[in-house]
Chains A and B, each alone.
Chain A
Amino acid sequence: MPVKILTEHINVPGINTFEVYRKMGGYTAVEKALKTMTPDEIVEEVKKSGVRGRGGAGFPMGMKWSFLAKPEGVPRYLVCNADESEPGTFKDHYLMKNNPHLLIEGMIVSSFALGANKSFIYVRGELMYVIHILEKAIAEAKAAGLLGKNILGSGYDLELVVQPGGGAYICGEETALLESLEGKRGNPRNKPPFPAVKGLYQCPTVVNNVESIANTPWIVNNGGEAYAALGVGRSTGTKLISVSGHVNKPGVYEIPLGITVEDFIYADEWCGGIRPGHHLKAVVAGGSSVPILPANLILTLANGDKRLMTYESLSDGGFATGTMLGSGGFIVMDETTCIVRNTLTFARFYHHESCGQCSPCREGTGWMDKVLDRIEHGKGNMRDIDLLVDVAKKIEGNTICPLGDAAAWPVSAAIRHFRHEFEWHVTHPLEATKPGAVYRGEMELV
């Protein structure tokens, strides 16, 4: 059995209560950290672990922590990003609702390491029921002396606040999240300055994803080296993968980084294969914003090797033949999927979620949505396909925050790999607009 860092106890009945969590060995990392380690030692262990941010960008967590500015007399903040809204991603939701204490333990350990005395968990507002679960868990931890003043007699104080969002994907972008937490519109900030220097309330701030933080108790307990020993190369540890779409067993899986994509899709331990009678057509491997890949490219690299579930292997080949691990939102499509239709829902999503601050994203996302909508509804022409590619190119890299890129990539990748489907919609408008119609021409299925 592969090592489970985050989900080992997730199915233990009552794991969401303090007693059971404690009985299963919970909060030992808080004891170890506060009683036997200095903050810098914890940062050191996290660095050694090589764990990379699990929110999407994959930035090494220890390095981010060591960038935190520490001016005298200025508070520092840790903010946990639980805004989880990237289509295809629901792992943080799964983790928090089932095992809230794991996140809280991670928040205590991480806040101590960063010298933060007030930390926030920003949860998307739709998950209000999860907010109640977290608040209950916090109250239990506080009653047990693990939060509040002078935790375990160490002299360290910590208050945890759970903050609800209000329905805005963009608040997952870390500076938009901070704006939102300050009670403002979720408009991302121009960077620099980075949050590590000027974050929440203009104070030095670290923003980390739920899953990133949930790894820290294990790292404190077992050491960074033990963590780094798991996985492959610079993809250390385990990763939660949210699986949706046409597999036999959609859900959340904790995988050791380094298994093959093929195993992940077809092994009974994980997705259990494509639903009976159907074939794999395409995969979006890391949340809606990463490039879609056709079956052959997601399973194998250009050199014929099997593609692995790691940061490096998934991005092998660049955007020409590769994609990204992203947030681990693994969306699987069989041959019944219309790529144009699916791309349209993504384009519509980014159009809907653009904050509207900068002109390329505000105008460009709406434009792509409308053109795709026309093509999907049999009212497109060939020129529109190149227009889409060009609009995506004009957005990409020119915006305040990466939402612009996230909106551009799915469109350009879908056209890159499935251009014939777009053309078919243009040349066969009557056929393409029948309910459930899917391009069945030349296509490689697995």
Chain B
Amino acid sequence: METTAPQLFKITFDGIEIEVPPGTTIMQAARKIAEADSTKMHLAPPAMCYYEPLKGSGGKCRACLVKVTAGSAKDPRPMPKLVPSCITAVQDGMIVENTTNEAVVETRKGIVEFLLLNHPLDCPVCDQAGECHLQDFAFEHGRVQTRYEEERRTFDKQDIGPYVQLHMTRCILCYRCVFTADQITNKRVHGVMNRGDHAEISTYIEKAIDNDFSGNVIDVCPVGALTDKTYRFKNRVWFTKPVEAHCDCEKCSGNVTLWYRGDEVIRVTARKNEWGEVKEFICNTCRFERKKTSDWTIEGPTKVARYSVIMANKYRADLKKPDFGLKVAASQYKQIDDSRPFVTDNEAIRELSKENNAKANQRSLAEKN
């Protein structure tokens, strides 16, 4: 047969047509739509495990499930199940529904609930608050209350080396840090132990993650499970000021974001794109040891690029967003007083979780007796 493959595949995503090269995933196509028009940022499916710079990532969290209502022009049948958009390649003529599909929205609520089952609802005391993807995900796609009344899984905080702290209780097992250690360091010493809901990130026997690039696991972690021990005066991220800077580094590109409080550099991270993905991985020297302004050439303030409900102040219910997803999200927060700041709201959730935890503990106590 003498047919030449078309140069580009045309797909329809939430009613918007776009042409992309073969091999593009649904997620990449959706992000392309969003990148071209920032009012469409919210159309891109949420990603809790997929991380474009990391080979093999994605497919696990199921946050990005979408409905394919037509597989391709050649075979326009719908796909029977929702598919993970981050690892599903587009076909010419494919039609995808994300925020416009009720089943997708409903399923996503379920995914939020699952991811929060064993996650402490203590955002107010977590260092990641404000830049936590799970927090965003929950605010935008979740329900307001958890129906989970059982005991939560907890772990002690653990230092893995002088720079990185692991708080496994918060981990959502996205495997990003494992891919990072595999792909950009030469000797991985941490990994996933055990299985099922007992699975945990660990070094198994006490070992320090000690490698020039190991600090990058902090940047890729979507939640507050891996944190920077040198991050001084831990702070709510919204009180800090990010600044782009670079230095002449013999190990990495030296392109970083400096986070200031007043005149003080309180932490150094890699630069991230609007999807929260690291643009260039940086070395540990830049990240952990260059904490003086004089170490750096300042380029100017960072535009907070990442699409974040928290950052964009979208956690408030009074925002009337035209899209279905946000409407659904907003309708869930109806009962929340619009004027209340975010922390208070979280406090409420925290109270609820404390209550639930207490109930669960009582039950297990009663059982033991």
Contact = CB atoms under 8 A, between A and B. Distances in A.
Interface of A: 168, 170, 185-186, 190, 351-360, 362-367, 370-371, 374, 377, 379, 387, 394, 397-400
Nearest to A189: B59
A397 B111 contact: no
Among A354, A398, A400, the most chain B Cβ lie within 10 Å of the Cβ of A398
A356 B198 contact: yes
Given A371-B150, A377-B367, A399 B62 contact: yes
B59 A398 contact: no
Contacts of B192: 185, 356
B150 A363 contact: no
Contacts of A355: 195-196
A359 B115 contact: yes
B245 interface: no
A270 B367 CA distance: 44
Contacts of A398: 62, 65, 81-82, 107, 110-111
B66 to A, nearest CB: 12
Given A351-B196, A356-B196, 18 more contacts: A170-B195, A186-B195, A190-B84, A190-B87, A353-B196, A354-B197, A356-B173, A356-B199, A357-B175, A359-B61, A359-B172, A365-B197, A367-B114, A367-B117, A374-B363, A394-B114, A398-B110, A400-B60
Contacts of A356: 173, 192, 194-199
A57 to B, nearest CB: 15
A359 B60 contact: yes
Interface in B31-84: 48, 59-63, 65, 81-82, 84
Contact of A379 (B59, B107, B363): B363
B53 to A, nearest CB: 19
27 contacts: A170-B195, A185-B195, A186-B195, A190-B84, A351-B196, A352-B196, A353-B196, A354-B197, A355-B195, A356-B194, A356-B195, A357-B60, A357-B175, A359-B63, A359-B173, A360-B110, A362-B114, A362-B173, A363-B114, A363-B197, A366-B197, A377-B367, A379-B363, A379-B366, A394-B111, A398-B65, A400-B59
B148 to A, nearest CB: 7
B197 A362 contact: yes
A363 B117 contact: yes
B169 interface: no
Contacts of B84: 190
Given A358-B62, A377-B367, A397-B82, A370 B150 contact: yes
Counting from the closest, the 7 A-B pairs by CB-CB distance are: A394-B110, A363-B114, A356-B199, A190-B59, A354-B196, A370-B150, A356-B196
Nearest to B81: A397
Contacts of A185: 192, 195
B176 to A, nearest CB: 13
Nearest to B119: A363
Contacts of B115: 359, 363
Contacts of A190: 59, 84, 87
A358 B172 CA distance: 10
Contact of A351 (B172, B194, B197): B197
Contacts of B198: 356
Contacts of A351: 196-197
A379 B359 CA distance: 12
Contacts of B172: 359
Nearest to A354: B196
Contacts of A394: 107, 110-111, 113-114
Contacts of B148: 367
A370 B148 CA distance: 10
Given A370-B150, A387-B147, A362 B196 contact: yes
B199 A362 contact: yes
Interface in B159-189: 172-173, 175
Given A367-B148, A398-B65, A358 B118 contact: no
B142 to A, nearest CB: 13
Contacts of A357: 60, 173, 175
Interface string B191-208: 010111111000000000
Among B65, B82, B111, the most chain A Cβ lie within 10 Å of the Cβ of B111
A367 B111 contact: no
A370 B196 CA distance: 14
A351 B195 CA distance: 10
B146 to A, nearest CB: 11
A345 to B, nearest CB: 16
Contacts of B113: 394
A358 B60 contact: yes
A186 B199 CA distance: 13
Interface in B104-142: 107, 110-111, 113-115, 117-118
A263 B185 CA distance: 64
Nearest to A351: B196
A168 B195 CA distance: 10
Given A371-B150, A374-B363, A398-B62, A364 B195 contact: no
